[in-house]
Amino acid sequence: MPSPSDPLHITGHEQSWSGALAQATGITVSSCYQCLRCTNACPVASFMDIKPHQVVRGVLLGQRENLLACSSIWVCVSCEMCSTYCPNEIDVAALMNRLKNMVMEFQRSPAEPIIAAFHRVFLDVLGSHGRINELQLMQRFQMKAFGHGYRPPREEVLRDLTLTLELLRRKRFKLLPEKSRAVAEVRDLITHRIKKAQP
Is the pLDDT confidence value at 165 over 70? yes
> Are 199 and 20 in contact, with CB atoms under 8 Å apart?
yes
| Average confidence score pLDDT of the chain | 86
> Are 92 and 133 in contact, with CB atoms under 8 Å apart?
no
Is the pLDDT confidence value at 4 over 60? no
Is the pLDDT confidence value at 199 over 90? no
Domains and CATH numbers, the chain: 12-104 (1.10.1060.10), 113-195 (no CATH)
CA–CA gap between residue 122 and residue 186 (Å, rounded): 13
